[in-house]
Amino acid sequence: MSEDLTRLSAVRLARAVRDGEASAEDVVRAHLRRIEDKDPQIKAFLTLTADAALSQARAVDEKRRRGATLGALAGVPVAIKDNIQVAGVETTCASRMLKGHVAAYDATCVARLKAADAVLLGKTNLDEFAMGSSTENSAFGRTANPWDLSRVPGGSSGGSAAAVAARMAPLALGSDTGGSIRQPAAFCGVVGLKPTYGRVSRYGLVAFASSLDQVGPFAGTVEDAALAFSVVAGHDPMDATSARRPAPPARIPVPADLKGVRVGLPREYFVEGLDPEVERAIRSAVETLKSLGATIKEVGLPHTKHAISTYYIIAPSEASANLARFDGVRYGFVDRGAKTLEEVYEFTRGAGFGPEVKRRIMLGTYALSSGYYDAYYAKAQRARTLIARDFRDAFAEVDLIAGPTAPTAAFRFGEKTDDPVAMYLSDVFTIPSNLAGNASLSVPCGLTAGGLPLGLQLIADAFQEERLLAVAGAFEAARACLFWPGESPGNPSK
Q: Is the pLDDT of residue 487 over 60?
A: no
Question: How much of the chain, in percent, has pLDDT values that exceed 90?
Answer: 88
Whether the per-residue pLDDT at 202 is higher than 60: the answer is yes
| Distance between CA atoms of residues 282 and 405, nearest Å | 9
What does the alpha-carbon distance between residue 392 and residue 384 come to, in Å, rounded to a whole number? 12
Task: Judge whether 180 counts as a catalytic residue.
Answer: yes
pLDDT of residue 481: 57
Is 302 exposed, middle or buried (CB count within 10 Å of its CB: 0-12, 13-18, 19+)?
middle
Active site annotation includes 81: yes
In angstroms and rounded to an integer, the radius of gyration of the C-alpha atoms of the chain is 21
**Among residues 160, 180, 320, 493, which one is catalytic?**
180
User: Cβ of 367: how many Cβ atoms within 10 Å?
Assistant: 21
Who contacts 23 (Cβ-Cβ below 8 Å, separation ≥6)? 17, 57, 61, 75
pLDDT at residue number 492 = 47
pLDDT digits (tens, 9 = 90+) for 405-420: 999 999 999 999 888 8
Residue 90 has pLDDT above 70, yes or no: yes
Does the annotation count 157 as an active-site position?
Answer: no
Per the prediction, the chain carries an average pLDDT of: 95
Q: Could you tell me the pTM of the whole model?
A: 0.96
Q: Check residue 494 and give its pLDDT.
A: 54
pLDDT digits over 115-130, tens only?
Answer: 999 999 999 999 999 9
As a whole number of angstroms, the distance between CA 295 and CA 254 comes to 18
Residues 319-348 have a mean pLDDT of 90
Spatial contact of 91 and 103, defined as CB atoms under 8 Å apart: yes
Judge whether residue 153 has pLDDT over 90: yes
Residues 6 or more apart whose Cβ sits within 8 Å of residue 36:
none
Percent of the chain with pLDDT over 70: 97
Which of the residue ranges 8-22, 121-135, 397-411, 421-435 would you say has the lowest mean pLDDT? 421-435
What's the CATH fold of domain 1-494?
A: Amidase signature (AS) enzymes (3.90.1300)
Q: Is 312 within 8 Å of 424 (Cβ atoms)?
A: yes
Q: Which one from 9, 38, 43, 81 is the annotated catalytic residue?
A: 81
Which listed residue (156, 157, 242, 320) is catalytic?
156
pLDDT of residue 170: 97
Q: 262-312, pLDDT tens digit by residue?
A: 999 999 999 888 999 999 999 999 999 999 999 999 999 999 999 999 999
* pLDDT for the residue 483: 52
